Structure 1
Amino acid sequence: MTRARKALIDLSSTSYYHLIARCVRRAFLCGEDEYTGKNFDHRRTWLVERIKLLSSVFAIEITAYAIMSNHYHLVVKVNRKQAICWSDNEVIARWYKLYKGSPVIDRQINGDALSEAELLLVSELVEKWRARLYDISWFMKNLNEYIAKEANKEDNCTGKYWEGRYKSQALLDETALLSCMAYVDLNPIRANVTNKLEESDFTSIKERIKHLQYSKESAKKSNQNNKTGYQAKQPKSLQQFGKTEHEHTLPFTLMDYLELVDWTGRHVHPKKKGYIPKSMPSILVSLKIEEAAWLDRVQNFGNHYGNFAGSRTVLRAHAAKNDVNWYKGVG
């Protein structure tokens, strides 16, 4: 049964969400159409660039992404606290980067004197825009409408480009977040598009690896200690890895995450060649995740959960909070 979006996105329960949008019929995001011979790889660049632009405007951080041939995955963090702290001028400046705005606010920007009623209207508009700037639905609406218009313009056609509304999964605990990120980053591996993480085009993990490699090379040229020279440097357009005690970062280290995804990919995708370490990554031990359970969760993440992802205990508690009997993934 389809649930209302407001029932699926509850920022009081979690800031992290897995989002999926799929093209309608035989529309392409990328790849080569065997019927027409056209190649659509450049559309993935559109999508990545638009995602990063919107993230710089909205209070929504990109945690992971993978752009496939006819669909894409995003893992995002909604930073409501950041949006609440923005000044009115900051909200207006951000909104105007994407939308036309309002005549009364245009007058205020130009220094015109406003009546008390007009000032009240300005305040109401700013608060409405502030709420929209940390709203996942507004983020996805802008993203999908932009890509649809560009694709239809290129194809010289009209009509729907996306298969209905986007799908969302609330990631209710650290294990759900970590396994979903790995699931997203391993999409090209599982689809047999490539067998190397560093060649998984248009994924967040390739972007992180490339940035790490560049930072290491820069550190060597500067004769700095390699570890301190590159560990702190990560792509600014993606949510940063840190440690549990760092409030605004992912509660894992970047190196642990890369090791974990590489290890998982070697097990999930048996055709991938390379050495498989006997010991589990330290991050699995620290989170008390069993090897078999972890592999099952990542490999079957898309089928194992519905609109909410997390441990059975967390899912049961969230279901009770929303006055439903159960969520997919429990029992």
Structure 2
Amino acid sequence: MQRRGTLASATAGAAVALLVAGSAAAHSARPAGHPHPGTLTSQDIATAGTGSPHYRIPALTRTTKGTLLAAYDARPTLGDLPANIGVVLRRSTDGGTTWQPQQVIRKEAAPKGFGDPSLLVDRETGRVFVFYAASVNHGFFGSATGNDERDPNVLQADYSYSDDDGLTWKRRRITAEIKNPAWAGMFASSGEGIQLRRGAYKGRLIQQYAIRHGAATYAVSAYSDDHGATWRTGRPVGPGGDENKTVELSDGRVMLNNRRAPYRTVAYSSDGGVTYTPFEQDKELPDPANNGSITRFAPDVRATHPRARWLLFSNTATTDSRSNRTDRLS
């Protein structure tokens, strides 16, 4: 949980900002004050000192009903876990034009802390997951080995889930299911997980994690083929893993994109995220070792459609500083 940075909070917790692009579908019956289709607007949905001293690590998704959910850390300081951090959320039912009041997904008394949210929507059931790490005594680099779900020295793997579009939440701990006891620290990579749309593993839910094994760090996929009833992890890829994201390619493979300096590293899976090829540098994607994001532009189109091959990628495109926020289309 160290060295954490995000695209939307590069100003060290000053605000969590959201960009909202108007669309004809979202604004076909546009009330007064809504942006015109194609207009890019921005707003702060969480500001340091209002409700919490600091906010960091935003995640964003759209539910099956079209509701936007933005989850992020509410932090007493800018420090990572272990700290008395809480995971909070805001909802928008009008495409991001207005946002409902901030709600708490998970917060408990010190020294407990919960942080680095990653959202994942099961588009077959409508269930929304938000994965995060749970600490008492230690964060990623101090966590003990083992997967005892009651051990305060083990950084735990928790998630909350909602079956009513993010209005109410229940929670679950899956450390014993997904953490190899030989691993030390393990945390969900913040941002958004994926669900495979086609092929042999259609319907599979995949959430990325970073793990520490010995002195090295790796990336690994946690996956579920039964809508989250049970979870497993595949084979770690690395060393050199950190915050990482996956995206489903039009040919059915899963591509993993990993935080690394001076360039992002990538790996590929042909078995739905269970095993990956070794990391390779992508020299078209300079990176200062910061979080990033990758997604399909049109995830629902058929595999033969030209836009099935379009990918969107965002990061701070430099090799030595968290600056030059850049969005790319492949």
Classify the TM-score, shorter chain: under 0.3
Higher helix share: 1
Higher strand proportion:
2
Taking structure 1 as the reference length, what is the TM-score of the superposition?
0.27
| Structure (1 or 2) with the larger CA radius of gyration | 1
Bigger RCO (CA 8 Å, 6+ sep)? 1
